[in-house]
Amino acid sequence: MKPKNCLIFGASGQIGRNLIRGLTQKNLKVTAVTRNLHQKGYILKTQANPGYLDIVETNIFDSDKIENLIKKAEVCINLVGILYEKGSNNFKNIHEKFPSMISSLCHKHKINKFIHLSALGIENANDSKYAASKLNGEIVVRKNFKDAIILKPSIIYSVDDNFTTMLMGLLNLSPFFPLYYDGKTKFMPLHCTDICNLIFDLIENDIDDKIIECIGPEELTFKQIIEKLLKLIEKKRFFVPIPIFVANIMATFLQMLPKPLITRDQIKLLFYDNIPSGKYKTNVDIGKQFGLNFEEEVEKYCYMWKETGEYAKKKNVS
């Protein structure tokens, strides 16, 4: 039987790379789209069995080229997303205009399945530009492709992430750690493997619920996440609660960095819990409980931030 062709936008990111590995191992063919083959080609090429992966370099707004790719696909997965804006790489273009374009092309060419990655905890965060654009993205996708599957994950972690790895890097460097909103914002972190397995499941099987909120097995506050990371890298740090007006001043400068550590928009977003809205079913409700445990999984790669690296002996840090 001819393998299904899955077209993935945003394939070089954390989820994309893990997904290419998973899908190609399961004999699905992947066409991975990237903006820059020279920068991302190596990462992408090493993720798949020979013959199962094609890589295409294109501007995602080149509608003719994108239409030609969509014509040849059975499944289309949109993983393109940004956390901060830089010029025309802004929330409106990336989270609204691009999903709108591909969802209508997928509808036009009668693609079998269209899977779109949005985010959890954005329903009430109407003062955040990121949240508003992700929400508008969901609306245009549903309007253009009625049966699109929209996944709304809480924070996703793995050795390839920009979350635990970045936090452990910061915790390693500084004796102080800033806490916004007293670190009380709630998250339900999920492992990248779990969401990739869910995507594979959704490609292979039909489901009734088209919008799914994706959560890991534990609810943790931001402070609890930091405490777990500190325990894993065997460090003690002072938590410094930061008033929001001070956080905003800091973010005004930090968001000017080429890869901002935090932006003013992210500070707004952090005010809102990243937990199910109650409006949609979760992966648990549809019988797909994610089993991977945050501390156990991060322990597998946290050694890089321990004092003596992979040969560090366990200390009792309480």
Binding site for ligand NAP (CB under 6 A): 10, 12-16, 34-35, 40, 60, 79-82, 89, 94, 117, 119, 153, 155-156, 163
Strands 149-153 and 186-187, by their bridges, are unpaired
Q: What is the DSSP letter of 223?
A: H
**Cβ closest to ligand NAP, residue 43 vs residue 250:** 43
Report the alpha-carbon angle 260-271-228, nearest 5: 75
d(CA 142, CA 148): 6
**Cβ closest to ligand NAP, residue 279 vs residue 313:** 279
Tokens encoding 313: 């002996």
**Cβ closest to ligand NAP, residue 89 vs residue 126:** 89
Q: Which residues pair with 56 in a beta bridge?
A: 33
- Considering the complex, what minimum distance in angstroms separates the CB of residue 312 from ligand NAP? 27
- Considering the complex, what minimum distance in angstroms separates the CB of residue 3 from ligand NAP? 23
Nearest-CB residue to ligand NAP? 13
**Cβ closest to ligand NAP, residue 191 vs residue 235:** 191
- Considering the complex, what minimum distance in angstroms separates the CB of residue 126 from ligand NAP? 18
- Considering the complex, what minimum distance in angstroms separates the CB of residue 89 from ligand NAP? 5
The alpha carbon of residue 8 and the mean position of all alpha carbons in its chain are separated, in whole angstroms, by: 14
Strands 29-34 and 5-9, by their bridges, are parallel
**Cβ closest to ligand NAP, residue 34 vs residue 144:** 34
CB 58 within 8 A of CB 65: yes
Taking CA atoms, 143 is separated from 101, 152, 309, in Å, by: 12, 17, 50
- Considering the complex, what minimum distance in angstroms separates the CB of residue 90 from ligand NAP? 9
